Amino acid sequence: MKGRVVLVGAGPGDPDLLTVRAVRELERAEVLLYDALISPAILALASPDCERIDVGKRGDGSKGVKQSEIAELMILHARRGRAVVRLKGGDPYVFGRGAEEATALSEAGIPFEVVPGISSALAVPSYAGIPLTDRRFSSSFTVVTGHRGKEVEDERTDWEGLARSSETLVILMGTAWLPDIVARVLRGRRDPATPCAVIASGTTARQRVVCAPLHSVVEAAQHAGLTAPTVVVIGDVVRFRASLATFERRPLFGQRVLILRAADQSGELAVRLAAAGAEPVVVPLLAFAPSEQPDVLRAALERAAAYDWLVFTSANAVRFSAPWLPKLRADARPRIACIGPVTGAAAARAGLAVQLLPEGPAGPASLVEALASHGSLAGAQILLPRAGAATAELPDALRARGARVDCVEAYRNVEPPGAVAALRAAVSEQLDAVVFTSPSTVARLFAILGERELHDLAKRCALISIGPSTGAALRERGLTAVREAAEASSEGLVAALETHFAEGEHGVS
């Protein structure tokens, strides 16, 4: 198969600003070469089997891969027949060196396409409440790179001329040279009282905005401690910020939320958190591998018609079981039950007809009651494919009702490479909440941190559980201040977080 490369614009940070085409290319990428500062929520949209390669550069020179090496990597993997996505911040062709990379691919004879992205020049001021044009104040704007701000390096940018000719100036990558830029704009006879804004980490949960007159904006930005990446706006349109800024009013704005879910299951939750204004910190503590006894699983599923019920308690159980299931008619044995909406949706995608989906919070107790409502469980034959290390709570509860339960390992929970180091790095920084999506993640976190460190983490973070079983696993370890989601889904977890922080703001305990 002939490989290809797609240069994809990731936008300025908020995953909601990805184009539909960008998401589609991410989902089918086999190799992902990504810039620095790309949101973990965006990276999580790629397949767990995708090879991820950090080729990011930073303005301070502390990290980076040479441009020639990036081109070599793209060409190498494409020649191996792989689908390569080169993920670039903003738009590939707006100050992103995308043209250089496209030229290298063209000269090497590598098929490539470009997927435009939303430039930070447009999106960041909008998120800060600053329209770039308004017929009352500005009918034009100029976008310019700040890398050419320092006088001794400036041979192309006529800052003095721009000061006179451009109603609104938008400066990207100008953090380091802002004093020189402002000095030259003032030298160009721009009114020193012109409103200015310096927007750091725009469209993300770390967004900070400083507004000041042109003559004092450098001191104001330095006093606030703003660091790259920044977008600077010079012009009367900055006056709109006080009335038009809405991004900072999102319900979870600025909250850093640790997600311990497996990489291939973190994408939706991370995107929902970012949409609510939070910063998702994705540290997968679990990965999933096939059963060590695949023949046992296959044999059990091939005789599924001998059972009254086939019960799934996770989307992963569906994923690893579906390939071995025979075609099951909706009116034939076994009937299929799922513990909650996420598992039910996975079963539906696998082409399985779900006859039972309990209402209310997902958990073993509600599942048992729902099964019992469809007839006595005494003597009922139930097949339960699940994780190898799953608890005995559900099968014990079913057997207590007289059911005959066969548990079979559908998959195993394993530890991803580098998980321990990534977790310790995450907990060493500021965190506001931790979301738990399974008892397995609780057990793995406890094993890594230990009791004392886990309790210390709980003192400074909200603990949010996806459901009763996960909440019970936390309480068993002495963590009692746990809020459970009303619905076992990404949406339910975000809603629980919003409720928690809203109550905190109003002094509710």
Active site residues: 35, 57, 173
Separation of alpha carbons 137 and 130, rounded Å: 12
- The token pair that represents 482 in the structure block: 């746990």
Could you give phi then psi for residue 494, rounded to 5 degrees? Answer: -65, -40
Bridge-based pairing of strands 208-213 and 195-200 is antiparallel
The Cβ of residue 80 has, within 10 Å, a number of other Cβ atoms equal to 12
Separation of alpha carbons 22 and 192, rounded Å: 42
Separation in Å, CA 76 to CA 2, 4, 69, 208, 378:
12, 11, 10, 40, 62
The residue among 412, 385, 406 whose CA lies nearest residue 311 is 385
- One DSSP character per residue, 145-201 reads EGGG-SGGG-SS--HHHHHHH-SEEEEES-TTTHHHHHHHHHHTT--TT-EEEEEES
Q: Where are the beta strands (DSSP E) in 429-480?
A: 433-436, 462-465
Q: Where are the beta strands (DSSP E) in 44-167?
A: 51-54, 83-88, 112-115, 141-145
Bridge-based pairing of strands 112-115 and 4-9 is parallel
Separation of alpha carbons 393 and 33, rounded Å: 44
Q: Is the dihedral of CA 56, 268, 365, 407 positive or negative?
A: negative
**Torsion angle, alpha carbons of 232, 234, 235, 236, to 10:** 70
